């Protein structure tokens, strides 16, 4: 897919809805996905929604990002979230509060609100990667009318995740449909020796 069109749309949606903390201006052509901002992305700022990490630019990709890139997914940007995942409405973000694309006066849910909102609103992106400690995928999926999958603990490697609660965190997905969600989940799932809790 033409990255120029995807980025143009992402910028316009961001002006209206505040879905992104950082847009990846160096995005390559491919199937566009957004990544929650507590998942490390090489050479793309990763803040976990906090000013503490305002200037953190990882030198490596999280396992899920590596796997997605290997399957020709391309990162549009890093989505707005509650600071370090603490919240259920994405209103505790140090940068921007994402607006619900169904009703701008309402919350996107949280803490993965930016990703769910972008997945619903984008014409080009059909899925995104989120993360849940205790409802941070299912809540925004319900609020934004997209399909969210919070996988069984250990199914998806958390290597490269900025943890909230190590024994509870799960990286999962949003999609416009069950098919879109399951396709991306199958891409990022699987054992990873770098994560001791991976199965």
Active-site positions read 36, 111, 136
What Å distances lie between residue 188 and 17, 63, 64, 121, 156, CA to CA? 27, 8, 5, 23, 6
Pairing of strands 73-79, 20-23: antiparallel
Residues with Cβ within 8 Å of 41's Cβ and at least 6 positions away in sequence, in order, are 24, 35, 58, 61, 62, 65, 75, 78
């Amino acid at each position: 897919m033409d990255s120029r069109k995807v980025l143009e749309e992402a910028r316009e949606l961001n002006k209206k809805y505040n879905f992104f903390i950082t847009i990846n201006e160096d995005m390559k052509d491919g199937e566009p996905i957004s990544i929650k901002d507590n998942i490390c992305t090489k050479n793309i700022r990763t803040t976990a929604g906090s000013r503490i990490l305002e200037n953190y630019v990882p030198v490596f990709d999280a396992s899920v990002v590596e796997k997605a890139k290997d399957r020709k997914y391309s990162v549009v940007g890093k989505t707005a979230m509650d600071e370090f995942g603490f919240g259920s409405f994405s209103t505790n973000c140090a940068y921007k509060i994402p607006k619900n694309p169904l009703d701008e006066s309402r919350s996107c849910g949280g803490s993965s609100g930016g990703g769910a909102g972008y997945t619903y609103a984008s014409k080009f992106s059909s899925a995104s990667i989120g993360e849940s400690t205790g409802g941070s995928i299912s809540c925004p999926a319900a609020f934004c009318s997209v399909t969210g999958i919070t996988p069984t603990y250990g199914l998806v490697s958390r290597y490269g995740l900025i943890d909230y609660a190590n024994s509870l965190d799960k990286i999962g997905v949003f999609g416009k449909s069950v098919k879109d969600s399951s396709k991306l989940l199958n891409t990022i799932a699987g054992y990873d020796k770098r994560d001791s809790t991976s199965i």
